[in-house]
Amino acid sequence: MAIYDLLLTGGVLVDPAQAIHARRDVAFVSGRVAAVAESIDPAAAQEVVDCAGRVVAPGLIDLHVHVFPGVSHYGIEPDPHCIAKSVTTAVDAGSAGADTFPGFRKYVIETSATRLFAHLNISSQGMLNAEIGELHDLRFANVPRALQTIEANRELILGVKVRLTKHSLVSAEAGIRPLHLAREAADAAGLPMMVHPQDAWVDSLDDILALMGKGDILTHCFHAMPCGIFDDNRRIRPAVWEAVERGVIFDVGHGAGSFDWGVAEAALEQGFLPQTISSDLHIYNVNGPVHDLVTTVSKFLHLGLSLDDAIAKVTAVPAQVMGMADAIGTLKVGAWGDAVVLALEEGSFPLVDSAGVTQTGRRVLSPRTVIRQGRVYSQVG
């Protein structure tokens, strides 16, 4: 008689939350992890997936995506681009604001196989229009409306998002005021703030980091625009190191214009690592240069991160950032039953940054099987 609903057998489990990198079998019952052992009898499971020669990891977590199709001009369908590509949990980074979040919840979050959360845009309209930024009119940065929406959706909204790029997003009249309003809303709600910093109405990134504290997320940390992590001598700014010390999270947020090979290489040479790797996946980069989260992770393998460190930055660490370390980002017994089986392919692979610069990777990850709540969601090869 079968004890387990599903068994992953013969793979190498890479679960940084448990400090495991070893051959392990993983079994699931009723949507949760039920057993992890060196060997589990296949006869004990209703369904068995042979993972020999593959990496088994917790379902990946992408802290920065845009998945509000049909409303946000950035929006893509979540399931073909997230869960089908190994991301079982994703966080939409400000596509919706207070005026549009009810629709995002009803028509996207509640209908998707991908487990979705959100950072609420401080602009009540969210990211609607490609020609007019969400903060060209500061009246959209409505703190009371943001707080009302957060209170009605506490289980889904993890923080407050603000984008600060001048001209295209924020008017000269608004200046840096949106950052202060996002700080006010986040503090009142007891939530962190996620900041898109590049080319803001400030002298340097120091002015932005001065308003950020423990648990706040500075996304797009490897962009090559003004308000970056380097000083005039291309050294990591002291304010960046100070922010790391007080617990600010530095996130990749690759995107269409926010990952530069030269910036990333110089930062890593100075010992600066992002805490989390995210894709900033949206309609303008899904066909390149981003493609998906595993491609972004593969770029960090190329930069020299170990497989364990790279996997940690899309599993255990974002789960901690989200306050969900016991549920997601791990395959420990009792955790939610999300897993991915990955092939670690060797060869020559073009890896392109946001400026169109190509480097050749020797190892890339590709999804083979995705498990959601203890059941096979998709399987390739």
Residue 167 confidence (pLDDT) = 87
Q: What is the pLDDT of residues 255-277, one digit of tens each?
A: 999 999 999 999 999 999 999 99
More confident residue, 104 or 172: 104
More confident residue, 184 or 168: 184
- Mean pLDDT for 40-46 is 97
Residue 43 clears pLDDT 70, i.e. is over it: yes
- Mean pLDDT for 50-66 is 98
pLDDT above 70: percentage of residues in the chain: 100
The CATH number that domain 4-57+333-379 falls under is 2.30.40.10
Q: What is the pLDDT of residues 206-254, one digit of tens each?
A: 999 999 999 999 999 999 999 999 999 999 999 999 999 999 999 999 9
Residue 179 confidence (pLDDT) = 98
Residue 303 confidence (pLDDT) = 98
Does the domain spanning 60-321 belong to CATH 3.40.50.1970?
A: no
Residue 144 clears pLDDT 70, i.e. is over it: yes
Residue 381 clears pLDDT 80, i.e. is over it: no
Q: What is the pLDDT of residues 86-121, one digit of tens each?
A: 999 999 999 999 999 999 999 999 999 999 999 999
Residue 380 clears pLDDT 90, i.e. is over it: no
Residue 90 corresponds to which tokens in the numbers above? 């994703």
- What are the domain boundaries of the chain? 4-57+333-379, 60-321
Q: What is the pLDDT of residues 94-103, one digit of tens each?
A: 999 999 999 9
Mean residue pLDDT of the chain comes to: 97
